[in-house]
Structure 1
Amino acid sequence: MRFHPTFFAGIAIALAAPAIAQDHSGSEQGEHHRESADHVADQDAFMREHGEQLSAALNHPSRAEDRARDQFRHPQETLAFFHVGPHMKVGEYAPGGGWYTRVLGHYLGGEGELVGLYYDPTSGPFNEQTQANIRKGAAGFAAEAADFTGLPADNFSGFTLESPPEDQLGTFDRILVVRMMHNLMRWNIADSELKTMRTLLKPGGMLGIVQHRAPADASAEYADGSKGYLRQDDAVGFVEALGFELVGASEVNANPRDPANWEGGVWMMPPSLGGDDAMDARTRDLGESDRMTLLFRKR
């Protein structure tokens, strides 16, 4: 998970190659999982146009320690699927330890713009200290991103979704929500946060989501976000109901080795390895979680 070290201090609850997606028994999960042939072709064209710049960002020295996880997080393929161009204004939702900030900062650093988007501190189960930490994180995002990337702080900005500045509405080309939807669902703030994100996007702007995926036959109780996993059809239907249309679903971040049924939730998988020694021995070499990768367009 990508959390700022102080982000949830004091939180007042106890918490968590493109194809047809398959559940762990090999059957199709649902009708929302196909990626259109047109979108696949568009990705090829995208890489011909922007692949060199994206590769340079991924190979920047600031990412020396990050690259070990590229094999699990597939940033090049993910950003190509999301059609994130180097000229775009991109919102990184709930930025944390800097993993995607370093990629996006260098990729957008020439002609684009990276903005850190933080939770509405009044919307969730956040006590006063946590609300203060959220506001502090947003105010300090530019300086933190500069530290992460070695780029000027002027390249970055950040704000919370409590009351976005008027001049920011309708100005974003992309907003990326990476491994965070389960928190929005279990805190019952997904509706309000995604609605606000929609107001930030340009007409036709796109929302990219990467999320831990539960099997299609997982119980509603297991897949409500409290275990870190969501069913893909549930996620698609929820986002579509808020004024988005699904562009495509990619399997680039799928991991069939993850049964996605751990009693302790996704945190039993690397990199968290939150179990006891016996559990960690079972999961250590499985890679990271099975993940859906979804792209939506603002209607």
Structure 2
Amino acid sequence: MRYLLAATALAFGVPAVADDQKLPDPAAFAATHAEAISGAINHPSRAEDRARDQYRHPSETLAFFRVAPDMKVGEYAPGGGWYTRVLGHYLGGEGQLVGLYYDPTSGPFDAEAQQRIRAGAAGFPAEAAEFTGLPAEHFSAMTLDAVPEGEAGTFDRILVIRMLHNMMRWNNADSEIKTMRGLLKPGGMLGIVQHRAPEDASADYANGSKGYLRQDDVVGFVEALGFEFVGSSEVNANPRDPANWEDGVWMMPPSLGGDDAMDAQTRDLGESDRMTLLFRKRD
């Protein structure tokens, strides 16, 4: 595993490869944008979300990904609005948040599911407005099979939060990430947060079907798709998660997908152990 040993990696991580563009240190970046980050994290619309902050560390994660408030950022597979609320308020002034939805023609999507995906993208601006209280005009969205003309090469960051395992088990991770790469500017960055399997987990366990992936596998996979590995952070790590649940990550909070006895065992463990990885688009 590519765990970083420098002391700063305990919080944010440090560059894993030579960084010609001299990314700012995450702690310094966080200090520079402290007011904007704090405003987003503490916005009243997130009142019910804050219980999860201790596990998902949105402030530290944004700083590690070096997401600035004036950037154009893609949120891959927006779900219940947890990160949409953070990003929406953080980017609500000078920046832009774009929902990136699956390519409906990839993966195991029947006609009804494809229609739901397209409807989700069409409805994202209004939904994000409802989530955040900001005008719908602040937001846009697309499905990855229908990238509008002029969007290629315009994104500063794309974030894939706890979704790569689904892309792996649906067998569309390579095509989706290639499309995302095309959306990024030269030198634009892809940030991934993903449930992490132990390095000695079997390939059958760590293939996405249980929700967990091995970190080295993820790094090698994304590198092969035209990215440079910039670094990793342990900010979303949870050593209390053994990451070997027979029924997968869904046994952990917040899903608690087991019976009463299993839920009692996992309820107080926190959320899953997660890798936090940053990649730069190669020329």
Q: With the length of structure 1 as denominator, give the TM-score of the two structures.
A: 0.88
Which residue of the partner structure matches residue 36 of structure 1?
15
- Deviation string for 1:9-28 (max 9, x for gaps)? xxxxxxxxxx638xxxxxxx
Shift of 1:61: 0.2
Instruction: Supply the AA of the counterpart residue of 1:252.
Output: V
Which amino acid letter does the alignment assign opposite residue 283 of structure 1?
T
Whichever residue aligns with residue 239 of structure 1, its letter is V
Unaligned runs of 5+ in 2: 6-11
> Which amino acid in structure 1 is aligned with residue 120 of structure 2?
G
1:178 to 142, 147, 161: 161
Q: What is the alpha-carbon root mean square deviation over aligned residues?
A: 1.6
1:212 aligns with 2:195: yes
Is the 2:30–2:60 Cα contact (8 Å) retained in structure 1?
A: no
Deviation at 1:163, TM superposition (A): 2.3
Describe how 1:41-52 pairs up with structure 2 within 5 A: 42-52=25-35
Paired residue type of 1:36: P
> Which residue in 1 is equivalent to 2:99?
116
Structure 1 counterpart of 2:231 = 248
- In structure 2, what is the Cα distance between the partners aligned to 1:106 and 1:275? 35
- Distance in 1 between residues matched to 2:167 and 2:129, nearest whole Å: 27
Instruction: Pick the aligned partner of 2:88 from 105, 112, 117.
Output: 105
Task: Pick closer, same or farther for the CA change 1:197–1:41 going to 2, 3 Å.
Answer: closer
Aligned pair partner of 2:209 in 226, 249, 262? 226
Post-superposition CA distance 1:256-286 (Å, at most 9, x none): 0000000000000000000011111110000
Compute the displacement of 1:53 (Å).
0.7
Note the C-alpha offset of 1:52.
Answer: 1.0
Shift of 1:40: 8.7
Q: Which residue of 2 aligns with 1:6?
A: none
The 5 Å alignment of 1:50-129 reads 50-129=33-112
- Within the candidate set 243, 253, 259, 1:260 is matched to 243
SS in 1 for 2:218: helix
Between the aligned partners of 2:270 and 2:74, the Cα distance in structure 1 is 27
Return the letter of the residue paired with 1:201.
L
Distance in 2, matches of 1:270 and 1:281, equals: 11
Map Cα deviations across residues 121-178 of structure 1 (whole Å, 9 max, x no partner): 0011001110000000000000000000000000000010012012110000000000
Partner of 1:204: helix, strand, or coil? Answer: strand
Taking the aligned partners of 1:85 and 1:245, their CA distance within structure 2 comes to 20
- After TM superposition, which residue ranges in structure 1, 4 or more long, deviate above 4 angstroms? 37-41
Match of 1:198 in 2: 181
Letter in 2 for 1:221: D
Q: Per the alignment, in what secondary structure is the counterpart of residue 268 of structure 2?
A: coil
Task: Show the counterpart of 1:7.
Answer: none
Deviations 1:203-250 (A, max 9, x none): 000000000000000000000000000000000000000000011000
- Which residue is 2:8 aligned to? none
Percent identity of equivalent pairs: 78
Alpha-carbon distance between aligned partners in 2 of 1:57 and 1:110, rounded to the nearest angstrom = 11
Distance 1:176 1:54 in 2: 16
Q: Which residue pairs with 1:270 in the alignment?
A: 253
Instruction: From 145, 163, 168, give the equivalent of 2:128.
Output: 145
**Inter-partner Cα distance in structure 1 for 2:191 and 2:24:** 18
Write the distance in 1 (CA, Å) between the matches of 2:30 and 2:213.
Answer: 30
User: Given residue 292 of structure 1, which amino acid in structure 2 is its aligned partner?
Assistant: M
Deviates most, 232-241 or 159-168: 159-168
Secondary structure at 1:168 match in 2: coil
Question: CA-to-partner distance for each residue in 1:44-63, whole Å, 9 max, x for gaps?
Answer: 22122111111011000000
Between 39-48 and 121-130, report the one with greater CA deviation.
39-48
Structure 1: runs of 5 or more not aligned: 1-18, 22-32
1:20 aligns with 2:7: no
Mark the CA change 1:192 to 1:255 in structure 2 (over 3 Å): closer, same or farther: same
Amino acid at match of 1:212: H
